[in-house]
């Protein structure tokens, strides 16, 4: 199974061009599927592949699609979440820049399975050049009859639109994304109702991450069994692990789901940066609880990380070296969430800012003995109590820092 074509990030300078994609067997899976399979069979195949969401929560894609009511005459929508804002995460941009047609073919397959005629790619505002590249790719596909009416000569029709966000982390939260796409302030919605029943413009809506959708053509090109075989039985395929921070070879590595974190850091990213030892590792984007060096033998899949009370999340790995004081990390983490809190619900709006103020004060040498308890208390006050998952996203890393590195913080305060 070492087919060079079976990758999310193809090599080559012109890999993004339609010709290059067709050369890799592009759009064949979509053509065959639409002309020979029923939508229900497509859904079953995806369920069989155990494709779990690549955005962070890891929800099985097939089950998510199955929530969309079929006997419903409202227009249905697919929203591809390309608002890649999780610190430490830079995988979706690579897929879209290097292989936009892979994403488009995935969109065709997903929409065919769920009966969707309009798909949006909600891309973060900073990815301006990539948004342009996507639009060019959409135009190329439309010219070839892969998008638009009567795709591949079938009765299936699909339009794909690119929408650029305006630079807010919270718009990567799926319901805030919908609000933003509707032209409103990007505030998360109260759930229920869930987007599958009341989503974009009040229609049933599927929201999937770029990497999730980009895996679909591979599943249909090589089969669900092949896909499961590439990863783990309950968590199929590969992941794009983005490694950043204090390593020798930071970068994006496509490896099977379940690859041990230590192997990724040492065998692929070259190990810790010169003259440093690992102090802490964020395994799945900044919202994932921090790991200590003795926890990095964990296999990188959802369940193994949940077992040690962290998260695979977006698989963005941040390695922190021992030259970095933990207070600097706490300050940066706290400041990020305080800056990105949308302000809608109380615990997150006030809690993130409060923690950030304490961390800044501690960093400036004004720490007092009660500070660590206060931070823990405030983070507990956000955890599980906010309107959207951002309260957890802000609380988890902070709690893991005070729990695992509290000693260093306490020493700093007493100095």
Partner 1 sequence: MSGTPAVTLQIDGQGLQVAAGTTVLRAAEQMGIVIPRYCYHPAFEPEGSCRMCLVEIEGLPKLDLACSTVVREGMKVWTSTPKVLQARKDVLEFFLADHPLDCPICDKAGECWLQNYYDQHGRYASRFLEFKEKKGKKVPIGKKLILDRERCILCTRCVRFLRRVTKTGELGVFERGVKAEIGIDGGADIRNNYSGNLVDICPVGAITDGDFRFKTRVWFLKNGRSVCPRCSRGCNIVIQSVRGYPLPGRQRKIYRFLPAENPEVNGFWICDFGRYGYHDIEDNRATAIAVNRGGPAAGRGADWDGILKGLAAELGAMAGAGAMSRVAVVLNSFLTNEELAACRKIFVEALGIQKIFFADPKPGEGDGSLLTADRAPNGRGAAALGYTARVPDLEGLAGSTDLLIIFGPHLMDHSAADAAAAALGGVKKKYLFTAHVSGLDSAVDVVLPTSLPAEKRGSFTNVDGIKQFFECAVAPLRGSLPESEILARLAAGLGVTLG
- Which residue stretch of 94-102, 157-165, 229-237, 354-362 sits at the interface with partner 1 (rule: CB under 8 A)? 354-362
CA dist 194 and 227 (Å) reads 29
Closest distance of CB 259 from partner 1, Å: 30
132 CB contacts (<8 Å, ≥6 apart)? none
Closer of 21 and 396 to partner 1 (Cβ): 396
Give the SS3 label for residue 331: helix
- 381 near partner 1 (CB under 8 A): yes
CA dist 351 and 333 (Å) reads 13
Residue from the set 79, 358, 399, 401 that interacts with partner 1 by CB under 8 A: 358
CA dist 158 and 112 (Å) reads 9
- 346 near partner 1 (CB under 8 A): yes
- Write the interaction track for partner 1 spanning residues 299-338; mark x where CB under 8 A is met and - where it is not: ---------------------------------------x
- Which residue stretch of 10-18, 209-217, 307-315, 347-355 sits at the interface with partner 1 (rule: CB under 8 A)? 347-355
Number of residues that bind partner 1 (CB under 8 A): 34
CA dist 364 and 395 (Å) reads 22
- 175 near partner 1 (CB under 8 A): no
**Is-contact 171 182, C-beta < 8 A?**
no
Q: What are phi and psi of 103, to 5 degrees?
A: -65, -45
According to DSSP, the residues that pair with 118 across neighbouring strands are 77, 159
Residue from the set 87, 278, 340, 397 that interacts with partner 1 by CB under 8 A: 340
Closest distance of CB 188 from partner 1, Å: 10
CA dist 13 and 277 (Å) reads 35
- 385 near partner 1 (CB under 8 A): yes
Q: Residue 119: which of 153, 97, 151, 90 has the closest Cα?
A: 151
What is the side-by-side order of every strand in the sheet holding 238-245? 251-256, 238-245, 316-321, 278-282
Residue from the set 81, 168, 276, 400 that interacts with partner 1 by CB under 8 A: 168
What is the token pair recorded at 143? 């010219």
Closer of 261 and 375 to partner 1 (Cβ): 375
Closest distance of CB 176 from partner 1, Å: 11
- Write the interaction track for partner 1 spanning residues 183-222; mark x where CB under 8 A is met and - where it is not: --x-x--x--------------------------------
Closer of 33 and 356 to partner 1 (Cβ): 356
378 CB contacts (<8 Å, ≥6 apart)? 351, 354, 355, 358
The region, left, alpha or beta by phi > 0 then psi within -120 to 50, assigned to residue 331 is alpha
Residues forming the site for partner 1 (CB under 8 A): 168, 170, 185, 187, 190, 338-347, 349-354, 357-358, 361, 368, 370, 374, 377, 380-381, 384-387
């Amino acid at each position: 199974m070492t087919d060079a074509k079976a990758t999310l990030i193809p090599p080559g300078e012109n890999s993004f061009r339609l010709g290059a994609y067709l050369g890799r067997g592009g759009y064949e899976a979509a053509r065959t599927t639409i002309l020979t399979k029923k939508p229900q069979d497509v859904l079953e195949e995806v369920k069989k592949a155990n494709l779990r969401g690549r955005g962070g929560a890891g929800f099985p894609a097939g089950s998510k699609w199955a929530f969309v009511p079929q006997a419903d005459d409202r227009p249905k929508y697919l929203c591809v979440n390309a608002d890649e804002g999780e610190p430490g995460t830079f995988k979706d941009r690579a897929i879209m820049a290097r292989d936009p047609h892979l994403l488009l073919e995935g969109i065709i397959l997903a929409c065919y399975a769920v009966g969707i005629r309009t798909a949006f790619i909600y891309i973060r505002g900073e990815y301006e050049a990539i948004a342009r590249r996507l639009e060019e790719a959409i135009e190329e596909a439309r010219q070839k009859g892969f998008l638009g009416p009567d795709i591949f000569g079938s009765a299936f029709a699909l339009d794909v639109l690119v929408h650029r966000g305006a630079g807010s982390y919270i718009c990567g939260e799926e319901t805030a994304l919908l609000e933003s796409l509707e032209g409103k302030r990007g505030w998360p919605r109260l759930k229920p109702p869930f987007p599958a029943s009341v989503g974009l413009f009040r229609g049933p809506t599927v929201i999937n991450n770029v990497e999730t959708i980009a895996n679909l053509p591979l599943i249909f090109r090589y089969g669900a069994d092949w896909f499961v075989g590439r990863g783990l039985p309950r968590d199929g395929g590969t992941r794009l692990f983005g490694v950043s921070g204090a390593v020798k070879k930071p970068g994006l590595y496509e490896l099977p789901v379940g690859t041990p974190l230590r192997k990724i850091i040492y065998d692929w990213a070259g190990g810790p940066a010169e003259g440093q030892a690992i102090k802490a590792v964020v395994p799945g984007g900044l919202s994932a609880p921090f790991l200590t060096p003795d926890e990095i033998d964990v296999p990188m899949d959802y369940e193994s990380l949940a077992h040690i009370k962290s998260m695979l999340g977006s698989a963005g790995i941040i390695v922190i070296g021992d030259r970095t004081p933990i207070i600097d990390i706490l300050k940066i983490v706290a400041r990020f969430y305080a800056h990105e809190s949308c302000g809608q619900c109380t615990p997150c709006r006030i809690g993130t800012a409060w923690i950030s103020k304490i961390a800044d004060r501690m960093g400036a040498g004004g720490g007092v003995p009660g500070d660590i308890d206060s931070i823990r208390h405030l983070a507990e006050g956000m955890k599980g109590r906010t309107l959207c998952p951002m309260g957890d996203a802000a609380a988890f890393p902070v709690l893991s820092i005070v729990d695992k590195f509290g000693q260093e913080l306490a020493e700093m305060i007493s100095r």
